């Protein structure tokens, strides 16, 4: 019988769920992407305008395959694969697949920007938000970020946990061997410039320095141009195809809005009544009807 | 061994012009798995099919369109899509220089290195000037028909360019509500602060190794040799029943013990 608690709902929709620990403190969390797919990703269509669906086919049997007929494999020699099942992949590092252990804390602004990879939010997924809020408050006050490693979807990541606006973010970082050193690219120690050359440029830098960042520069201009074109064509009814009740293909990123709703519901959950007795987790009376 | 540059351009601001070459700073190292047909081990092919007939549509007949999300699609021709492309340019235009923390980590996307392209003196001078001023440049450029925004930084005498996400591509934390519920107790806050400070250290990315990648490759070797595998189920850490204060106290004790042993 499936669980229907908000926490279970969260875990079902999350990219990953598990516990975040520091010292011996355990915080159940669910991880969601903080990146949206581009709003203006275009769909591929048939000549009659019908949206196409993605299918995987077997070239040998020349037919479409169901998801259950597909496995993943590693190419050991050209054309020769060793199959790895989900159980085997998850069993390769069982602890790391379910727990992020923050064993070191560093000042957040000391993390080299070259290493930032992808951004996620962590939602509290336990019955109590106390340990989550405790970590978030502490990190915001000390300016420290927690570092750890974990395995998600068959890949290991270094992760930096940071607090922002009372929420915990997870930023995956690249491993050292995933970022090239300048020397490896043949970029040798540049010739030392003259004082005069440096000062001339420094003056120009100062002249172009601003106190505030104009967020306008981060706008997606192509998306704006595309939307202008789309609105024009919609207004004139040109090249518009109406979909007759088509069920949208299940895309993994589909319904980013739904995930945000789940996240909002999760963080808006009221404190459990059992907190009066200082329990960190477990055994609280679930609030009936709270959605 | 010099790597090949993937693009060339000129950084411009005021009357400064610094010609540069762009190099990818990322080296992919993950274990790459392919999708296979379970029955015969053939690598699968991805095709786009018409949902009505189940038949694949030849590439030259595929059209593109924008889904309004409200039941209609606006078809866009190749000519129309081309008209949306930006003008080709070799300029890396600096719109402004700012304090690095104004940009912040949620925006950073992909890193590149910049090397000099002919004028080494100008390149070195720019790198030194940026380091001395302690600023990052916000830059715009067009590469392979795509528009980019990035942060121009200097580190160790070299220039780096890190692309930034567009505003519409990231979820703003300030739009999400803070978790409700009772605030932590003063004592809990004090102990938690002590604990994270006891665990504080330097940022050293070299301290972490991708052990999972190694384990998967070991797994592949064992299977290839036909060996039986011993696997444990993922261990789910059980939430403690002790109070938060007790757990914090025990954590601090443990950190102290580890320090004494070391």
DSSP string, chain A: ----SHHHHHHHHSSEEEEEEETTEEEEEEEEESBPPPTTPPEEE-TTSPBPEEEEEETTTTEE--GGGEEEEEEEETTEEEEE-HHHHHHTSTTTTTEEE--EEEEGGGS-GGGEEEEEEEEE-SS--HHHHHHHHHHHHHTEEEEEEEEETTEEEEEEEEEETTEEEEEEE--GGGB--GGGGT-PPPPPPPHHHHHHHHHHHHHTB-SS--GGGGS-HHHHHHHHHHHHHHHHTTTEEE-SSPPPP--TT--HHHHHHHHHHHHTPPPPGGGGGTBSSS-PPPPTT--
Nearest-angstrom CA–CA distance, B175 and B170: 11
| Per-residue pLDDT, B69 | 82
Please say whether the dihedral angle defined by the alpha carbons of residues B83, B86, B90 and B91, taken in this order, is positive or negative.
positive
- In whole numbers, what is the pLDDT of chain B averaged over residues? 90
Q: Is the pLDDT of residue B71 over 70?
A: yes
For chain A of 291 residues, list the mean pLDDT of each consecutive stretch of 10. Answer: 67 86 93 82 90 91 89 93 89 84 95 94 88 95 96 91 93 95 80 90 97 91 94 92 64 48 63 39 36 33
Mean pLDDT of all residues in B50-62: 90
| Per-residue pLDDT, A23 | 92
CB A16, CB A28: distance < 8 Å: no
User: pLDDT for A192-231, tens place per residue?
Assistant: 889 999 999 999 999 999 999 988 999 999 999 999 999 9
Pairing of strands A144-152, A104-107: antiparallel
Mean pLDDT of all residues in B197-211: 94
| Per-residue pLDDT, A245 | 61
| Per-residue pLDDT, A265 | 67
From the CA atom positions of chain B, what is the Rg in Å?
A: 27
Nearest-angstrom CA–CA distance, B157 and A94: 43
Token pair for B216: 């998967």
Provide the residue count of chain A: 291
Q: Where are the alpha helices (DSSP H) in chain B?
A: 78-83, 100-103, 120-133, 186-198, 211-225, 244-261
Contact B200 A74 (CB under 8 A): no
The residue among A42, A169, A173, A203 with the most chain B CBs within 10 A of its CB, best to mutate, is A42
| Per-residue pLDDT, B231 | 67
Facing A65 at nearest CB: one of B44, B125, B173: B44
| Per-residue pLDDT, A263 | 66
The closest of A195, A262, A228 to B74, measured between CA atoms, is A228
Is any Cβ of chain A less than 8 angstroms from the Cβ of B180?
yes
Task: Tell me the chain B residues in contact with residue A167 when contact means C-beta distances shorter than 8 Å.
Answer: 173, 176, 178-179
CB pairs under 8 A between A and B: 564
Task: Tell me the chain B residues in contact with residue A95 when contact means C-beta distances shorter than 8 Å.
Answer: 234-235
Contact B180 A270 (CB under 8 A): yes
| Per-residue pLDDT, A275 | 39
| Per-residue pLDDT, A135 | 96
ipTM: 0.89
The closest of B182, B177, B178, B143 to B161, measured between CA atoms, is B143
Is any Cβ of chain A less than 8 angstroms from the Cβ of B135?
yes
């Amino acid at each position: 019988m499936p669980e229907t608690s908000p926490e279970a709902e969260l875990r079902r929709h999350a990219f990953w769920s598990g516990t975040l620990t520091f010292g011996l403190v355990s915080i159940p969390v669910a991880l969601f992407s903080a990146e949206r797919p581009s709003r203006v990703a275009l769909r591929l269509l048939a000549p009659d305008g019908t949206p196409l669906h993605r299918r995987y086919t077997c070239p040998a049997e020349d037919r479409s395959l169901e998801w259950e007929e597909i496995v993943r494999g590693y190419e050991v020699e050209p054309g020769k694969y060793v199959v790895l099942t989900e159980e085997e992949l998850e069993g390769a590092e069982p602890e790391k697949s379910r727990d992020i252990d923050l064993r070191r804390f560093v000042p957040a602004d000391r993390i080299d920007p070259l290493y930032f990879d992808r951004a996620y939010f962590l939602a509290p997924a336990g019955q109590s938000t106390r340990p989550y809020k405790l970590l978030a408050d502490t990190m915001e006050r000390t300016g420290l970020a927690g570092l750890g490693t974990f395995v998600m979807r068959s890949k290991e990541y270094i992760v930096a946990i940071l607090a922002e606006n009372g929420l915990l973010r997870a930023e995956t970082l690249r491993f050292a061997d995933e970022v090239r050193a300048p020397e490896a690219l043949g970029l040798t120690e540049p010739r030392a410039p003259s004082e005069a050359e440096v000062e001339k440029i420094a003056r120009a830098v100062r002249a172009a320095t601003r106190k505030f960042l104009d967020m306008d520069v981060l706008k997606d201009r192509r998306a704006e141009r595309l939307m202008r074109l789309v609105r024009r064509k919609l207004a004139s009814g040109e090249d518009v195809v109406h979909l007759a009740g088509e069920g949208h293909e299940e895309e993994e990123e589909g319904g980013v809005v739904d995930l945000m709703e789940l996240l909002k519901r999760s963080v808006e959950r009221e404190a459990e009544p059992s907190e009066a007795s200082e329990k960190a987790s477990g055994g609280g009376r679930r609030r009936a009807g709270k959605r | 061994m010099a790597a090949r540059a993937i693009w060339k351009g000129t950084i411009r601001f005021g009357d400064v012009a610094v010609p540069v070459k762009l190099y990818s700073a990322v080296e992919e190292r993950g274990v790459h798995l392919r999708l296979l047909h379970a029955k015969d081990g053939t690598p699968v092919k991805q095709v786009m099919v018409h949902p009505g007939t189940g038949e694949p549509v030849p590439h030259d007949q595929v059209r593109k369109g924008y889904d309004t999300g409200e039941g209609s699609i606006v078809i866009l021709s190749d000519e129309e899509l081309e008209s949306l492309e930006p003008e080709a340019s070799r300029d890396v235009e600096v719109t402004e220089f700012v304090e690095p923390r104004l940009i912040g980590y949620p925006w950073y996307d992909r890193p590149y290195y910049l090397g000099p392209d002919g004028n080494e003196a100008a390149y070195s001078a720019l790198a030194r000037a940026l380091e001395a001023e302690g600023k990052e440049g916000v830059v715009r450029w067009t590469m392979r028909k795509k528009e980019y925004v990035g942060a121009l930084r200097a580190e160790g005498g070299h220039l780096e360019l890190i692309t930034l996400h567009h505003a519409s591509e990231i979820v703003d934390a300030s739009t999400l509500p803070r978790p409700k519920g009772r605030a932590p107790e003063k004592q809990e806050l004090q102990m938690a602060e002590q604990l994270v400070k006891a665990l504080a250290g330097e940022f050293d990315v070299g301290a972490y190794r991708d052990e999972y990648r190694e384990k998967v490759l070991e797994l592949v070797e064992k299977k290839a040799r036909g060996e039986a595998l011993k696997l444990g189920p993922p261990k789910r850490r059980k939430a403690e029943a002790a109070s938060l204060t007790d757990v914090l106290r025990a954590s601090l004790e443990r950190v102290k013990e580890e320090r004494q042993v070391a």
